[in-house]
C-alpha cells in the first residue's frame, strides 16, 4: 500500500486524523504556556486534488468532497472545513491542506512548530506554504531521529504527531521507540499516533505495545473501520491513538468516527472510542 500523502489527501483517514488533531490543538493552546508541536512525517503541506496522484486514487471524492456536500455534519469537523476554505479560492475545492497547514492555522505566535520531512521535493513545497510569521522550522531528514533529539523535556508543553506511511516494516517499532523516548524526557507530553487498520491482529498488538511504552499514562484510541478487516492489503480503517489525551477528547472524537463510519463506510462500518485509564 503506497501511503505517500499526495495519493490519499482528503480521504476518510485524513478527515479522522485532522478532526481529532484540531481538537487536540484547541485544547493545548489554552493557557499561557507556549506549545511545541513536532510533526515526524509532515508531507508537502497542501495537495492539489486535481493532480495525477489524487485523481489516480479518487479517495478525496469519497472523503472531503462528501463531507463538504453533506448536511448536519458534526461541529467537530468545523476546523477542518475552515482550513480547506482557507487554501481555496471562494467556491473552489481543488486543494486540501495537510497537517502542517492545519497546525499553523491554530498555533499562537508564542508557540513553535517543527516539521520533519524526508523527501526533498515535499520539504521544499512545505517550506513555501507555511506562513513566515509562524516561525516554523522545517527539517529535511529522518523525522524519527530528529524528533527524539529535539523533544523538549518536562515541564515543556509538547505535542508530538507521529504520522508515518506505515509502508516500511519497522514503522510500528519506530513509532513505539519514539513514544518511549518522548515519555522518558517529558512524561506529560501528548503523543498522537495515526495508525492504519488493515487487520485486527496487527492493530491490537500495536495498542498493547503503546500501553507499555506509555509507562502508565492514559491512552485513548479513536477508530473508524469502513469495512470488514478481511483483506490485510487494504486500508480498511484507521485510528488516532493519543497518549495523555486532554479531558473530553473521547467525547469530541466519538461523533467524528461515528459520522465517518455511517456516511463513508460499507455495511457494518463502525466507529469506536477505547479509553485506557492511566495506570491500568
Reported as a single tens digit per residue, the pLDDT across 74-110 is: 999 999 999 999 999 988 899 999 999 999 999 999 9
Q: Which residues, in sequence order, are bridge partners of residue 221? A: 241, 274
Distances (CA, A) of 21 to 79, 103, 131, 171, 235: 10, 8, 19, 20, 20
- For residue 205 the three cell numbers come to 498488538
pLDDT at 279 over 70: no
Rounded mean pLDDT, 185-202: 97
What is the model's pLDDT at position 39?
98
pLDDT at 115 over 60: yes
Rounded mean pLDDT, 54-68: 90
- Count, residues in the chain: 280
pLDDT over 70 for what percent of the chain? 96
d(CA 140, CA 137): 10
What is the model's pLDDT at position 2?
44
Rounded mean pLDDT, 149-159: 97
Name 233's Cβ contacts closer than 8 Å, sequence gap at least 6: 1, 198
- 254, burial (CB in 10 Å: exposed 0-12, middle 13-18, buried 19+): middle
Confidence band (pLDDT; 50, 70, 90) for 132? low
Q: Which residue has the higher pLDDT, 30 or 280?
A: 30
pLDDT at 47 over 60: yes
Phi first, then psi, for residue 34 (nearest 5°) are -70, 145
d(CA 28, CA 157): 8
pLDDT at 186 over 60: yes
Name 185's Cβ contacts closer than 8 Å, sequence gap at least 6: 151, 152, 153, 154
Query: In terms of DSSP H, where are the helices of 70-115?
Result: 78-86, 99-104
Rounded mean pLDDT, 264-275: 96
Name 62's Cβ contacts closer than 8 Å, sequence gap at least 6: 11, 12, 264
Name 165's Cβ contacts closer than 8 Å, sequence gap at least 6: 2, 3, 4, 41, 171
Q: Are 176 and 189 in contact (CB under 8 A)?
A: no
Rounded mean pLDDT, 272-279: 84
| 5-276: CATH superfamily | Vaccinia Virus protein VP39 (3.40.50.150)
d(CA 138, CA 142): 12
Distances (CA, A) of 150 to 110, 122, 153: 18, 21, 9
Question: Could you tell me the residue ranges of all domains in the chain?
Answer: 5-276
What is the model's pLDDT at position 230?
87
- 180, burial (CB in 10 Å: exposed 0-12, middle 13-18, buried 19+): middle
What is the model's pLDDT at position 57?
81
Sign of CA dihedral 223, 210, 1, 77: positive
- For residue 238 the three cell numbers come to 484507521
Rounded mean pLDDT, 59-84: 95
Dihedral over alpha carbons 40, 41, 44, 50 (to 10 degrees): -140
What is the model's pLDDT at position 1?
42
Place of cell 485523481: 55
- For residue 81 the three cell numbers come to 472545513
Amino acid at each position: 500500500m503506497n501511503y505517500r500523502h499526495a495519493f490519499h489527501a482528503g480521504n476518510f483517514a485524513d478527515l479522522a486524523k485532522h478532526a481529532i488533531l484540531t481538537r487536540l490543538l484547541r485544547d493545548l493552546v489554552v493557557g499561557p504556556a507556549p506549545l511545541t508541536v513536532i510533526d515526524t512525517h509532515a508531507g508537502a503541506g497542501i495537495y492539489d486534488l486535481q493532480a495525477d496522484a489524487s485523481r489516480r486514487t479518487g479517495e478525496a471524492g469519497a472523503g472531503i468532497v462528501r463531507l463538504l456536500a453533506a448536511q448536519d455534519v458534526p461541529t467537530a469537523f468545523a476546523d477542518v472545513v475552515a482550513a480547506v476554505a482557507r487554501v481555496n479560492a471562494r467556491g473552489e475545492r481543488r486543494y486540501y491542506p495537510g497537517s502542517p497547514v492545519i497546525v499553523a492555522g491554530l498555533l499562537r505566535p508564542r508557540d513553535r512548530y517543527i516539521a520533519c520531512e524526508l523527501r526533498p521535493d515535499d520539504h521544499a513545497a512545505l517550506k513555501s506554504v507555511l506562513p513566515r510569521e509562524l516561525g516554523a522550522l522545517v527539517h529535511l531528514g529522518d523525522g524519527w531521529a530528529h524528533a527524539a533529539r529535539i523533544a523538549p523535556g518536562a515541564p515543556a508543553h509538547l505535542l508530538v504527531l507521529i504520522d508515518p506511511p506505515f509502508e516500511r516494516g519497522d514503522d510500528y517499532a519506530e513509532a513505539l521507540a519514539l513514544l518511549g523516548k518522548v515519555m522518558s524526557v517529558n512524561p506529560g507530553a501528548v503523543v498522537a499516533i495515526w495508525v492504519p487498520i488493515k487487520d485486527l491482529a496487527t492493530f491490537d498488538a500495536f495498542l498493547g505495545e503503546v500501553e507499555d511504552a506509555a509507562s502508565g499514562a492514559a491512552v485513548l484510541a479513536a477508530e473508524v473501520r469502513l469495512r470488514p478487516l478481511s483483506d490485510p492489503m487494504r486500508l480498511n480503517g484507521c485510528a488516532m491513538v493519543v497518549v495523555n489525551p486532554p479531558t473530553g477528547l473521547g467525547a469530541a472524537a466519538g461523533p467524528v468516527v461515528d459520522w465517518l463510519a455511517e456516511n463513508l463506510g460499507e455495511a457494518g462500518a463502525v466507529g469506536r472510542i477505547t479509553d485506557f485509564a492511566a495506570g491500568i
